[in-house]
């Protein structure tokens, strides 16, 4: 933020409004939130979201050489921000494991479908190896059995009341 006092108004206190307000405060702004309703009456109080940092972030041929390091920094910041909300009143963030059973490996599932023309397939960059310490491990079963993948998926979940 520019030098000097910054007063910012945020309209709404749903997921986007509160996120904006928090980020602005961390950047040094004085924030005032204007909202018709407050949680849990706001529409996004029942919203869910997944933390999937490597989900089609960029095309391989469109990134600069320094992009992977920048992506990793943003990914780690995002993860630790989510992590800091664990255990807060109202449970704004909860970790929920997801499992995928498949006869093929995760790499094979990401590959183009059989018969797809190479020129129509988009080549998305994958940087999951840079944050492997944040990801749950893949575990394979015996040959011929499906692989089990506890893929990274961190969600905010609030049951309907």
Burial zone of 141 (CB within 10 Å; 0-12 exposed, 13-18 middle, 19+ buried): exposed
**Nearest-10 Cα torsion for 59, 60, 64, 66:** 110
- Per-residue pLDDT, averaged over 32-42, amounts to 84
Report d(CA 121, CA 111) in Å as an integer: 9
Report the predicted TM-score, pTM, of the whole model to 2 decimal places.
Answer: 0.56
Output the pLDDT for position 10. 94
pLDDT in tens, 78-128: 888 878 878 877 777 777 776 767 777 766 766 655 555 556 778 888 888
Residue among 149, 151, 52 nearest 103 (CA): 149
């Amino acid at each position: 933020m520019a030098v000097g006092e910054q007063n910012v108004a945020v309209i709404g206190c749903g997921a986007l409004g509160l996120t904006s307000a928090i980020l602005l405060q961390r950047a040094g702004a004085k924030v005032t939130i204007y909202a018709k309703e407050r949680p849990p009456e706001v529409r996004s109080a029942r919203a869910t979201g997944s933390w999937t940092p490597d989900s089609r972030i960029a095309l391989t041929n469109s990134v600069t050489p320094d992009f992977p390091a920048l992506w990793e920094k943003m990914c780690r910041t995002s993860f630790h921000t989510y992590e800091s909300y664990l255990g807060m009143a109202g449970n704004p963030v909860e970790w929920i494991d997801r499992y995928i059973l498949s006869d093929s490996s995760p790499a094979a599932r990401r590959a183009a479908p059989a018969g797809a023309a190479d020129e129509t397939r988009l080549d998305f960059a994958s940087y999951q190896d840079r944050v492997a310490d944040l990801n749950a491990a893949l575990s394979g079963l015996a040959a011929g059995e499906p692989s089990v993948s506890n893929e990274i998926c961190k969600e905010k979940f609030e049951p309907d009341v």
